[in-house]
Chain A
Amino acid sequence: MRSALYARRRRRNAVAMTLSLGATLIGLGWLVLILGALLWQGVNGLSLKVFTEMTPPPGAGGGLLNPIFGSLIMTTLAVLIGTPVGILAGTYMAEYGRYARTTSVVRFINDILLSAPSIIVGLFIYEVVVAQMGHFSAFAGALALAVIVIPVVIRTTEDMLLLVPNALREAAAALGMPRAYIIRHVAYRAAKAGIVTGVLLAIARISGETAPLLFTALNNQFWSSNLNAPMASLPAVIFQFALSPYADWQKLAWTGALIITLAVLTLSIAARVVTRTRRQS
């Protein structure tokens, strides 16, 4: 009787543990399947032409130069706009307003913004910028991406500044430094690696974002460096080309997908390396 119960409990445990191992293998399997398909389909389309030629009309050869350029421009602009805002807000939350009620409210709202659907951000910028200016523009696209950058940077800046030991701040204060100096010359310097990680993660996040660009920057078949006009971006071109019936467009879409994934994975690994060296030192 007793041993029967024991055997049943052992059996149930074995089943549960096998299931958990199986679940992990499924999770890892998906990753392998996705990366495998990307490499398989994307690599044979990779050539120098991808980086030197414009997007082609269907049936003609071409590359992805203008969307790559557009993605770089809009990502850079978004980071230039979003990072200072994020760092300043994060600074308030971790330094001046560490115990203020505002801070917990801002943190709560920021965490919600962090996971809000990105297509809503697109709609918002459309309403506020595109509809007012009367036309789509790369600038609107960059603004939409900046709205996504801000919460990411705020979150990491606050977390990293909170990790800076108070003894450092007190030592600086004892030397007679005003608070703004302590923050800029002591706290920022101690939290630099963490803040850089936050920016890298934000870049990784926006470099694959499609939804907020669809009706802000729109898309462009041709080369354009005009911020006041529609601009191509890699995700938008992938969206257009993958859903097209043309085989050569679909092939370019796979290649673009491979480029984005490699960029995103490199960035997130770089972000991990930055924090890791910090932890060791």
Chain B
Amino acid sequence: MPSRAQVLVRMRLADKAFQYLTQATALGVLALLGCIILALIIGALPALRTFGFDFLLTQSWNPVTERFGALAPVYGTIVTSVIAMAIAVPIGLLVAVFLTELCPLWLRRPVGIAIELLAGIPSIIYGIWGLFVLAPFLQVHVQPLLIDVFGEVPILSSLFAGPPYGIGTLTAGLILAVMVLPFITSISRDVFEAVPTVLKESAYGLGCTTWEVFRNVVLPYTRAGVIGGVMLGLGRALGETMAVTFVIGNAHKISPSILAPGTTISATIANEFTEAVGDLYTSSLIALGLILFAITLVVLALARYLLLRVERRLGG
């Protein structure tokens, strides 16, 4: 039978041990991020050493001559994300308006859940759907129309030039828009709901319409949160891999037309990594990954910073 003092000592030791264990794992998360960055840098070194800063500015991607440049994938990543955000931001915000202002109370939960289910569908499902359903539809019904309509307009004609492939930058942007939409909607809905009722009611009391209340009271009040949600969506769009790989066409060139096939950083890595022969090829792909990670880190950090500020203001 251990004495009381012994039990107390043992308990205190166990307590300390548990505390240090949890603390160490929490710090391990920081170490994990550090390790990811370090591993990418080490992996990318051979390519960065060979090509230097030119890596970012070169368009050629030639495994035979071992000349690699990141310009085409970076360009594709940015263009697809821009298309996705141009479509998803207005639609996502309007859905959030519907959910907070217009929708009858009993319908809010089911509609909200349905939109969030869109976020739960794995990206490979979007990919297979985009390849077999969306791309053929666009090829037959939408893209010929776009080419006809914009063919005569001076600047837009080059944007919509070339044959309707179905797959390509525009299709990838569209798929990304659907994937990003639920993120923008759910965060904007949450911040819209956090607007104090008094503010909205006083605007209504002055005779504002629902739209005017949203435009002049809700939106200015929640701007930081909305931007945070949009950035979070952008982070997802930039790094999305499988859905894009299926529908972008994987062509290593920069084409002015958004109907033409292109590539993105993540699609290039997904497609070529296992087939990459030679250290320089592999290293160039890892360098691409490093660029992608750097871009998304900045975007995501900015998003979290904005959302954190909103949270603090609402909390205090």
Pick the interface stretch among B22-30, B63-71, B255-263: B22-30
A24-B99 contact given A30-B178, A116-B293, A253-B128, CB 8 Å threshold: yes
For the residues of B in contact with A, the DSSP-based class is helix
CB <8 Å contact, B210 and A13? yes
B289 A120 Cβ-Cβ under 8 A: yes
A91: interface (CB < 8 Å): yes
- Asked whether B124 lies within 8 Å of A260 as measured between CB atoms, the reply is yes
In the complex with contacts A106-B27, A243-B246, A264-B122, A31-B97 CB distance below 8 A: no
Interface: A85 (CB within 8 A): yes
List the A residue with the shortest CB-CB distance to B23: A92
Contact A115 B300 (CB under 8 A): yes
User: In the complex the two chains form, is B91's CB within 8 Å of A23's CB?
Assistant: yes
The answer to whether B117 and A260 have CB atoms under 8 Å apart is: no
Chain A nearest CB, measured from B215 CB (Å): 8
Q: State in angstroms the CA–CA spacing of A127 and B120 once bound together.
A: 29
| Docked complex: A165-216 residues within 8 A CB-CB of B | 178-181, 183-184, 204, 207-211, 214-215
The answer to the question of B296 belonging to the interface, with a C-beta cut-off of 8 Å to chain A, is yes
In B124-143, the 8 Å CB interface with A consists of 124-129, 131-133
Bound complex: CA A210 to CA B240 (Å): 11
B23 and A96 within 8 A (CB) = yes
> Which chain A residues border B212 with CB–CB below 8 Å?
9, 13
Cβ of B86 < 8 Å from any Cβ of A? no
| Cα–Cα, bound, A106→B114 (Å) | 32
Q: Is the CB of B12 within 8 A of A109?
A: no
**Residue from B22, B132, B214 having most chain A Cβ neighbours under 10 A:** B22
* Nearest chain A CB to B175 CB, angstrom units: 10
B242 and A211 form a contact (CB under 8 A):
yes
Known: A24-B94, A113-B32, A265-B117. A37 touches B266 (CB 8 A): no
Known: A92-B23, A115-B232, A210-B123. A33 touches B133 (CB 8 A): yes
Whether B23 contacts A119 by the Cβ 8 Å rule is no
Query: Which chain B residue has the least Cβ–Cβ distance from A154?
Result: B29
CB of A108 within 8 Å of the partner chain: yes
